[in-house]
Chain A
Amino acid sequence: MNNTSQTIRVGLFFLLGLALAWITFESLNGGHLFKPRGYTLVAGFANLKGLKTGDEVRMAGVKVGAVQLTRLAPNRVEALLTIEPGVQIPADAVASVEQSSLLGSNYLGVTFGTPGGPLLKDGEEIKTKPTVDMSEVISQLGTLGSKLEQVIGEIGKSMGTGGEGGGIFSRIDKLVTDNGPKLTESISNLQDITAKIKNGEGSMGKLINDPKLHDELLAGVSEIKLAAADARSFMSDTKGIVADVKSGKGTLGVLLYDDATATSIKVKAKNLRELSDKINGGQGTLGKLLADDTMYRDLQGVMKKADRALDGMGDSGPITAVGVVAGALF
């Protein structure tokens, strides 16, 4: 092996190493290692909640920088953030410590702020807001759940068989079943009549269906008059039935003219209306749940957080597991 070729090989080998290292870093970090460092912002908090050096700074979930340093200042703690160059953060953007997993890894979330507004410059301070603890959120969720359960139970009671004289639904149900046969009969009669009319049976049918009869009709008006007389007597019969109903005879009569039943139904209806009014007005827990916007948004936030937390847990699972195992060993 002569010296020159040895030197060349070693040189090539070393360059290969450098190239591979560069490729590795470049692909891992989007070339971060060799990019300018960006600018620094200061974020002051009452409680950092375990935010530590190296944690990410995210704007709408996108990494825009990292926590460079955390330090104690009089009456607060400060985090120095390194923001990637080219990322513009408006002066009214708000930073808060967010949890990316239930197991405790944090990041610093930054809101968009007003687009087009004045921008934060190097060394300036970003606005912050304290964040709710995960444990608080979970305990609030617990109480909310039990209240919801109570409300749903009450609604069920008033709708079902509970309460005086049976619930609304049971009463309506009874009404329909009791009069079932009669109703069926009337409906089949009606069907009969229309069928007969269609087939040209009976006077009415013939009148409509038979063209010849039209002439006969014209010819025999007297007969029509006769028919009219018949019709009159039918009407008086009908009147009789209506009078019966009016005087409270028969089931329909009872339903329509029995005072007690009527008031009972009225009360139920009123209750229902009240309930829905209340719900609309945002009173009561269920009402709040449905009508109060903030509550709804809070809840949504919580769900999102939980969702993200679960995501985060899934993501960091294996690494954390390795960490836990290592921690347990030593």
Chain B
Amino acid sequence: MNHLTAIFGHIGGTLLLLVSSVKFIGTLPRQRARFIEQCYLIGYTSLPIVTILSFFIGSVLALQSGYSMENFGAKQFIGTLVGLTMARELGPVMVAILIAGRVGSAVTAELASMKVYQEIDALTTMNIPPERMLVLPRLAAILVMMPVLAIIANLCGWYGGALVCQYTHSISVDSESYFIALKTYMKPKDIIDGLVKAEVFGFVIILVCCYIGLNTRGGPREIGASVTKAVVASLILILVLDYFVTKALLFA
């Protein structure tokens, strides 16, 4: 019971954090520098790992589906399968998981240490709401960067799949027919759905990580505990939200 009320408390707290951050949306133009710094940290520095990871996700996807689709004589649809899976599912989810591990943990660690070393309290007494200075620029940055990362992930995944299809002997679907299959059955909506998902995941990750960081109590040890909590919560939320967002997008 206590656990349950605690969970409701956290949900409420997160939503309140969202509301009190969005309240300051008007201050965003003059927080330009901070926003760009966060864009840099969230987006630009994540580029290499997103590229590598999604390339190999696409490759493995092509390899596995090539292996199993051979049984149905449906090898010519590998492009479709890899394309749709990357765009609709694995692209956004893998980028989100990566962001949770790479950016979410850093955000929580930073905010938790600010909290533990009373920097947050100092901000509060200085009448600078932490939501405005710390949360809002991050939320804005993730909203701008997430689609960019997701689209890069999509393309890298597709090319990874194409390369594997062409150069694996047991599959040998040339990349031209791979991309034709991919194009034929992909609608712009598939891409947009994926981007919407990425957007939702990124936003929730940053929001939750900020919340957990800002609500750290105790000493330096709690910083580590908060980071663990934040990453676990992010991963759970990504996969749970994935189901609901997908369902909403498919049947909306």
Contacts and interface: CB of A to CB of B under 8 A. Distances in A.
A6 B40 contact: yes
A118 interface: no
Given A317-B74, A318-B77, A28 B191 contact: yes
A76 interface: no
Given A6-B36, A6-B40, A319-B185, A16 B148 contact: yes
Given A6-B40, A10-B39, A318 B187 contact: no
A24 interface: yes
Nearest to B38: A10
Nearest to A319: B185
Interface in A6-42: 6-7, 9-10, 13-14, 16-18, 20-21, 24-25, 27-29, 32-33
Contacts of A27: 183
19 contacts: A3-B36, A7-B36, A9-B40, A10-B36, A13-B47, A13-B145, A14-B39, A14-B148, A18-B148, A21-B148, A25-B191, A28-B186, A28-B191, A32-B188, A33-B188, A318-B77, A319-B80, A319-B84, A319-B185
B69 A13 contact: no
Binding site secondary structure of chain A: helix
Range for the number of chain A residues in contact with chain B: 20 to 34
A24 B155 CA distance: 8
Contacts of A6: 36-37, 40
A10 B38 CA distance: 9
Contacts of B81: 318, 322
Interface in A292-325: 315-319, 322
B180 to A, nearest CB: 11
Given A9-B44, A318-B69, A20 B36 contact: no
A234 B185 CA distance: 90
A14 B144 contact: yes
A153 B77 CA distance: 45
Contact of A13 (B44, B155, B185, B186): B44
Interface in B20-38: 33, 36-37
Nearest to B37: A6
A24 B151 contact: yes
B213 interface: no
B160 interface: no
B105 interface: no
Contact of A28 (B33, B44, B72, B187): B187
B113 interface: no
The 8 closest A-B CB pairs, nearest first, are A17-B148, A10-B39, A318-B77, A6-B40, A21-B151, A20-B151, A13-B44, A10-B40
